[in-house]
Amino acid sequence: MRLAIDDIGKNFPGVVALDGVSFDVRPGEIHALMGENGAGKSTLIKIITGLYRPDRGRLLIDNQAVVFASPRDAIAAGISAVHQERNLIPRFSVGENIMIESLPIRRGLVDYDRVHAEARRFLDLIDPSIDTKAEVRRLSVAQMQIVEIAKALSLEANLLLLDEPTASITDHEAQALFAVLRRLKNEGKAIVFVSHKLEEVISVSDRVTVLRDGMVAAAGEPIAAMSRGRIVSAMIGREERVADIGARKPLAAPALEARGLATSFGHKDITFTLRRGEILGLYGLVGSGRTELARALIGDARVLAGEIRLNGAPISIANISSAVRRHRIGYISEDRKSQGLILAHPIRANVAITIWRRIAARCGLLTRRREARVAAPLAQKLDIRTPSLEQQVGKLSGGNQQKVSIAKWLAAGVDILIIDEPTVGIDVKTKIAIHELIAEITRSGVAVLLISSDMPEMITLADRILVMRDFALVGEIENERRYESMSRRIMSFIHEGVDSSSGGAQAEASHG
Amino acid sequence: MTLSRRFFSQEWSALAVAILIGFASLSLLSSAFLTEYNLYVMLRSFCVVLVVAFAQMLTLAVGQLNLAIGALGGLVAIAVGGMMEKLGFPIGAAVVLGLLIGIGGGLLNGLLTVRTGINGFIITLATASVFAGINLGVTESIPFYNLPRSFVAFGVERFFAVPYLLIPPVIAALLLALFLARTAPGRYLLAVGGNPHAAELSGIPRDRIIVLAHALSGLLAAIGAILAEAQLGSAQPTIGADWLVMSFAAPIIGGAALTGGHISVAATALAVVLIVLIQNGMVLAKVDPYWVQFLLGALILAAVGLNRLRAARIEAG
């Protein structure tokens, strides 16, 4: 199947996700789709799979314009996808999840013998060790990812879209996947492959399209003609704009420390020191346990061994609320919309929420004026673009929402701020403003633990970088702020971790 | 895995144990308990509650609630009664039309929910009032007492301790279990409840499945209404008025997840058995029946707490 996208545009409130994107994929090719976070790759995949409708532009299959009203239509047209987010039914078996699009029926009833036999066939292509009768919710993140891939393969579609399929699986499994993809390609299937891993893209794909800020930065170039450097510069943009974070000099005094920490999430032997005024980066792939570590540090997990120290003294954090009130540790969630902000409430109330008790007047009454007195200077300092503090937070752009999150914790007067993926889905300009803002707040001694899977962000901001893999810290690097050498060092830490679990020779082969 | 471990890993194991203990202690404590007539009385009161619990269970399966079950049941009951008594319809025709009214009411709930995107809680709260309004407007609260003799007889007659009234609920339970476990629409229903987004991406017609759940819920409410009518021997406009708490209690005691995707026909049925057993025990012990409500509440809390403990122990291995 030949799929062409013609001049597609898609807006979300406050964000232009895609702006005049054209793209095509032919039978018998693997087409890589690359770009930084927020460049529009996943939006494009969701349009092709019928989940989003484009605001303008056309989809053409074999030169015929098509309109997909729902994912059903796309599946019927022979398109299947592995999406970035998990899309499995937790209480169903592995086999049934794989076969759910087309359950085999015998005499009106689902034929479970065939469900498991067919699922086995597709699962064996990647990992024969997973039991098709196991419940999906009992699987590890990596196993779930493999089930997702098997599920997409089971449709035997003519166009297969894979959005970051290798983000949480081992090298060994990734190689098995690539072997399958090459075979499908030779059978004449069209494949679109989204990945952050350059080596992977170069080794497996035929052509590459790069998106940047919702626009095409490189259009279907043959991979042979693209160097690694050209792909990177297409992704980042010619003028490599970076935030100016000024001179960095963290204080020596430790603010937050973990000593041999093991948690009920599965972290093992986590030891690190976060100093006052420092930005400590925590890098790792999706599913490596970064967000869970943040949650453990604010009291959302049981500590099984080791200890957490605050300003040198061991503490025990009872729950999230006491992390803020007693220990002055704030957490800005990756998912600001569902976990960080109250979207229907005005900026004023969102900023003041953590200190309502402190600013309440006599008789415990809150007034708008008291809230505004806290919120106004912060809104100005953080340059929150809004007509008024009464604006509903849900109506702000993603970047301004993130600034409100930060303002909220500054208002609370926290000493330690854990920030999880601060600039996901935020445009480049605001991203730089947020980077400068994060650097700025550390000057007063606030310690920041920065979680990010955005490598340039990490290298721009962090003073030191911790690398996490499989719920353990595998490396600690002093950041020299040179992109090429730093990204190579970070990735080698991640890969070394991979090597040790899947055999050295295997990894050697995949690197060569 | 040993047999006992297998038994206790089942969600309904605690219920089964509770029922066994209840049954054993009631047999020892009361000589009136293990009589044929008392068993008949218990089985007879089991019937309506079971299908009403199933009606709610299906909306819980897709992660929704149906507050209109009782009101729809009341409407079906007086419609069937009116058709038989006032219009002289044959029993079969009246029953089939009554079931269609149930399906229609459920369809209305489902379509309003998916078309407007408004939460099913609000939609069914509103339609409950609509159904009850039609019911009371038409009947002016006056029951139909002169139902066909064979219809009333069906609600009373028995084979030893087994009332004929038990036949439809048992068939419904078996069909429902088969539907949910082995048919594609049944699996889709649980998939939509388990992860609506994933279901949609898998090409499952989510909206249609939600409508289906509501329609089946309406059908079961109608079955419950007709059974209640046969049991009472008259078509009371108040049929269904006391269903709401029971309809939630049984599936929840049976381990249903309010977030959807996780229900069990067997466990819901066992929960109804337990409820009936407790009610019967209280009658035999001459406890004021008003206290049944209190005990039901305590039972819900106990069951939910136990299930949590059990889940935590399984997680810990």
Q: Is the pLDDT of residue B164 over 80?
A: yes
- Please judge whether A90 and B191 are an interchain contact, meaning their C-beta atoms are less than 8 angstroms apart: no
- Rounded to an integer, what distance in angstroms lies between the CA atom of residue B8 and that of residue B3? 9
Judge contact between B229 and B53, C-beta under 8 A: no
Q: How does DSSP classify residue B173? A: H
Strand partners, A270: A261
Proportion of chain A above pLDDT 70, given as a percent: 93
**A283 burial class (0-12, 13-18, 19+ CB within 10 angstroms)?**
buried
Q: In this complex, is the C-beta atom of B3 within 8 Å of any C-beta atom belonging to chain A?
A: no
Q: In this complex, is the C-beta atom of B194 within 8 Å of any C-beta atom belonging to chain A?
A: yes
Token pair of A280 as six digits:
């400590």
- For residue A222, the surrounding DSSP H or E stretch is strand A215-222
User: How many CB contacts within 8 angstroms connect chain A with chain B?
Assistant: 66
Q: In this complex, is the C-beta atom of B190 within 8 Å of any C-beta atom belonging to chain A?
A: yes
- pLDDT averaged over every residue in chain B: 91
E strands, A153-214, are 159-163, 190-194, 207-212
CA-based nearest distance B183→chain A, Å: 5
The most confident of A347-351, B7-11, B168-172, B278-282, by mean pLDDT: B168-172
- Rounded to an integer, what distance in angstroms lies between the CA atom of residue A365 and that of residue B24? 59
Amino acid identity, position A38: G
Q: Which pLDDT value is given to residue A375?
A: 86
**B159 burial class (0-12, 13-18, 19+ CB within 10 angstroms)?**
exposed
- Rounded to an integer, what distance in angstroms lies between the CA atom of residue B255 and that of residue B90? 41
Q: Tell me the chain B residues in contact with residue A89 when contact means C-beta distances shorter than 8 Å.
A: 190-191, 194-195, 198-199, 261
The full DSSP string for A138-153 is GS-HHHHHHHHHHHHH
- Rounded to an integer, what distance in angstroms lies between the CA atom of residue A93 and that of residue B257? 18
Burial A122-157 (b: 16+ CB within 10 A, else e): bbebbbeebebeeebeebebbbbbbbbbbbbbbbeb
Alpha-carbon Rg of chain B, whole angstroms? 20
Token pair of B215 as six digits:
């329609």
Mean pLDDT, contiguous 10-residue spans, chain A (512 residues):
92 81 95 84 92 94 93 93 88 95 92 96 91 91 88 92 84 87 93 85 92 89 86 71 74 90 92 94 86 90 91 88 87 76 86 78 75 85 80 81 86 90 75 86 91 86 91 89 81 62 36 36
Judge contact between B132 and B71, C-beta under 8 A: yes
- Please judge whether A76 and B203 are an interchain contact, meaning their C-beta atoms are less than 8 angstroms apart: yes
Q: Which of A351, A331, A330 is nearest to A342 (CA)?
A: A351
Q: Which pLDDT value is given to residue A501?
A: 32
Tens digits of residue pLDDT in B192-227? 999 988 898 888 899 999 999 999 999 999 999 999
- Rounded to an integer, what distance in angstroms lies between the CA atom of residue A288 and that of residue A267? 10
Q: How far is CA B260 from CA B58, B63, B221, in A?
A: 9, 4, 20
Q: Which pLDDT value is given to residue A497?
A: 55
Q: How far is CA B306 from CA B302, B314, B316, in A?
A: 6, 12, 15
Judge contact between A31 and A191, C-beta under 8 A: yes
Q: Which pLDDT value is given to residue B104?
A: 98
Q: Output the CA angle A279-A285-A286, nearest 5 degrees.
A: 105
Token pair of B261 as six digits:
């995707």
3-class state of residue A329 by DSSP? strand
- Please judge whether A101 and B262 are an interchain contact, meaning their C-beta atoms are less than 8 angstroms apart: no
In this prediction the pTM is: 0.78
- Please judge whether B194 and A91 are an interchain contact, meaning their C-beta atoms are less than 8 angstroms apart: yes
- Rounded to an integer, what distance in angstroms lies between the CA atom of residue A260 and that of residue B291? 55
C-beta pairs of B28-35 under 8 Å, 24+ apart in sequence:
B29/B284, B29/B285, B30/B281, B30/B284, B30/B285, B32/B284, B33/B280, B33/B281, B33/B284
Q: Tell me the chain B residues in contact with residue A49 when contact means C-beta distances shorter than 8 Å.
A: 201
Which candidate from A89, A108, A109 shows the least CB-CB separation from B198?
A89
B178-197 average pLDDT score: 92
Judge contact between A431 and A399, C-beta under 8 A: yes
Judge contact between A41 and A194, C-beta under 8 A: yes
Strand partners, A161: A81, A192
Which one has a higher pLDDT value, B112 or A372? Answer: B112
Q: Tell me the chain A residues in contact with residue B200 when contact means C-beta distances shorter than 8 Å.
A: 51, 70-71
CA-based nearest distance A76→chain B, Å: 9
- Rounded to an integer, what distance in angstroms lies between the CA atom of residue A88 and that of residue A500? 29
Q: In this complex, is the C-beta atom of B83 within 8 Å of any C-beta atom belonging to chain A?
A: no
- Rounded to an integer, what distance in angstroms lies between the CA atom of residue B262 and that of residue A135? 13
The full DSSP string for A419-479 is EESTTTT--HHHHHHHHHHHHHHHTTT-EEEEE-S-HHHHHHH-SEEEEEETTEEEEEEE-
Q: Is the pLDDT of residue B315 over 60?
A: no
Tens digits of residue pLDDT in A219-269? 999 998 888 778 878 887 655 556 777 778 777 789 999 999 999 999 999
Q: Which pLDDT value is given to residue A200?
A: 85
Amino acid identity, position B194: G
- For residue A281, the surrounding DSSP H or E stretch is strand A279-284
